[in-house]
Structure 1
């Protein structure tokens, strides 16, 4: 045991073989949807680029100049209009993980359980940062 040690190459090889627990529990990694998969919407793409993607890709620039960036965007529209596709493309372009939550999954009849589930979602998002959390099918 005195001569047992781990080199950086050993560690890097192990990282390739180990699957993070968040991924095993159904949370996806970076989606494979690209901007090319989203037709048109150039104005919307530029808005996402400036408010979400660049701050995630280049956080040091925003920190250096103490620029506050947007942390949320509301997409709305009827089912099937491409909200999920756009959100996945944004996550892919930013190199961020993507957590897709359907609104009803958070609802619970017991007092405090829905709130606990929301806290759990954001705790997991922090653990796999950078991360885009997409709440779908929300009923207000």
Structure 2
């Protein structure tokens, strides 16, 4: 009689152990296959009449795969649509903006891309007015 009880118990325990191991293994893998978190908010420097330089921080989490590039979008004041401006490689958290209209205002945001997808957008930058840099009068 004792032998019959073990006949069902051992396979049942092996099946349960297999299910537990499979669940743990797949739960760990699925959590690591995500798009990256959002990059840091872009900040503008070197503002000119036709553009500026944007700098931003890399995402805190890469989602389990290296970030391969960043996409930059902008929108002008009073216009709700975001327009793709360009991309920059992942090792450069900076983007040179050109071909903007003098005296226009624009805001920028950044996305990080990896093989699992596109991050949420960064927080949008403050609106930037593109104008010639101020040069003090040398006579004063």
Q: TM range, normalised to the smaller chain?
A: under 0.3
More helix by share: 1
Q: Output the TM-score relative to the length of structure 1.
A: 0.25
- TM-score relative to the length of structure 2: 0.25
